Structure 1
């Protein structure tokens, strides 16, 4: 009997599913996924998810939702997305936001969609922050709240622009929206100088917009400058950098298109 337990113990120790951590298994599954070896990756991915790795839980949910191997199973996918979110994995928050927002695999619920959007936004995800801003404006899923709108759009506008074009576009759009809000006195008290500062900040990544839109905004900037003093224009660079919290690098291209 003692010999049997010794053999069993050796088997348990030597078996990868017992000796590897959730993080190691998750990385192994990702390596296989990158090579397109989905069939090999799936059991390892599931084990990592069962051991509590948030990224693996999200990836398993994605497998199940899209039927990458076998039939689609949106209900089980939602369960794994929820576990991923509970582990504060940002894609898990996002998936739950979309599921409740669109009613995919679960009953549509705008309040719960907003709750997950807020979790995602708290991780500084530009897409989710944009959605939170929209909800505070429209009252979709949450009570309309202009002070909260202002808080979140400022937070979004001050983020670093990532390589992801969609997310960068949300950040640049927030900056342009602030320029317009201050110019028109919408949500914020009308302040042409503050509007100008946000135009300068928008200019850093205007490449996120089409050439036609850039041309339109260049005209807006030139027109706005007519209402500002020489002193304001001269100090605007320093003030916009203080507002953003970092240097501006594209001011020499203010009146030019970025391709």
Structure 2
């Protein structure tokens, strides 16, 4: 029986994923300065919001914004952008977020970059997105560092420059951002902006995988089946495929099915293989759909 090899994720250097912490509560929580021991309108507003005292929170955010506190401007802008505890008003939200960005608040600058990159509520403009990402990145905001690296790697909003992409991805990766760690893994695997190095590639994929990044978990499985940058080990491949498959990642589900069908790294079990193929096929995975047709035709 001819068992196909596992499938890899497309070796596109980076997703154009832009991170903006759309979750309002989380946005507020991370925007708080952990070292602040004093009370002000913003920190009181966050506390009120977390305690579901929304009217008081809104009043305090508005008070802070009237004093040109960029944290309050950003938070209030997010509320209007998303229609949380206020009537949705994306135009007013954009005005407030722009004020916060112009006042130097890095999270607001990154968020504006997201809006301009995606054309969300504004005319799509990669050059403007690049400008805002850059302003936030030089303030050491990991998401902006990552987004700036994406722009350089893809040549969007700026010239394509893999060396600059590596510089900013590395900064974000050192701040433990898994997307950036995965991106560095791809750059090392392809020799983009760096000398091709399979061991370094596996190192960065591994760091992202250990943070639960699905594509990296699947990639580690692939590397262990190939012995690329790591010692070949089918049992470890099964471990990584399982981690991603159990979280619903279709490529890992298909790959885990292949491992069970072939008996590589685990005991051969056609029933379990079919079960994983079905899970992947249900998500539209064409390889799994073809595999199921083949297996049904054989039976």
Interval of TM-score (by shorter of Structure 1 and Structure 2): 0.5 to 0.7
State the TM-score, normalizing by the size of structure 2: 0.58
> Counterpart in 1 of 2:62?
46
Tell me, yes or no, if structure 1 residue 140 matches structure 2 residue 146: no
Of Structure 1 and Structure 2, the greater helix share is in 1
Q: 2:206 aligns with which of 203, 207, 210?
A: 203
Aligned length: 198
Which residue does the alignment assign to 1:87?
103
Conservation of the 8 A alpha-carbon contact between 1:214 and 1:257: no
CA distance, structure 2, for counterparts of residue 108 and residue 186 of structure 1: 28
Residues 156, 256 of structure 1: alpha-carbon distance in 2 compared, 3 angstrom cutoff: farther
Change (3 A) 1:206 1:67: closer
In structure 2, the CA distance between the partners of 1:26 and 1:133, relative to structure 1 (3 Å rule), is same
Distance verdict in 2 for CA 1:256–1:204, change over 3 Å:
farther
Quote how far apart the aligned CAs of 1:123 are. Answer: 3.1
How many angstroms apart in 1 are the aligned matches of 2:160 and 2:180? 22
| Distance of aligned partners of 1:139 and 1:71 in 2 relative to their CA distance in 1, 3 Å threshold | same
Q: Which residue in the other structure is 2:46 paired with? A: 30
Q: 1:140-168 CA distances to partner (integer Å, 9 max, x unpaired)?
A: 111222332232233333x132xxxxxx3
Question: Which structure has the larger Rg?
Answer: 1
- Which runs of structure 2 are paired with 1:104-183 in the superposition (5 Å)? 104-157=120-173, 159-161=174-176, 168-181=177-190
Q: Give 5+ residue unaligned stretches, structure 1.
A: 1-21, 162-167, 227-253
Q: Deviations over 1:87-118 (max 9, x none)?
A: 32222112211222233333322211111111
User: Could you say which residue in structure 2 is the equivalent of 1:8?
Assistant: none
Q: 1:214 aligns with which of 220, 228, 232?
A: 220
Query: Shift in Å at residue 224 of structure 1?
Result: 4.1
Q: Deviations over 1:112-143 (max 9, x none)?
A: 11111112222333332232222212221112
Identify the residue that residue 31 of structure 2 maps to in structure 1.
none
Change (3 A) 1:103 1:23: farther
| CA positional deviation for 1:201 | 4.5
Distance 1:23 1:82, change over 3 A: farther
Greater relative contact order: 1 or 2 (C-alpha under 8 angstroms, separation 6 or more)? 2
Alpha carbons of 1:103 and 1:136: their partners in 2 closer, same or farther (altered >3 Å)? same
Matches of 2:143 and 2:195 in 1, distance apart?
26
Q: Which moved more, 1:170-179 or 1:51-60?
A: 170-179
CA shift, 1:170, in A, is: 1.0
Q: Distance in 1 between matches of 2:81 and 2:156?
A: 26
Aligned equivalents of 2:163, 2:208: Cα separation in 1: 26
Secondary structure of residue in 2 paired with 1:156: helix
What runs of 5+ residues in structure 2 fail to find an aligned partner?
1-37, 244-299
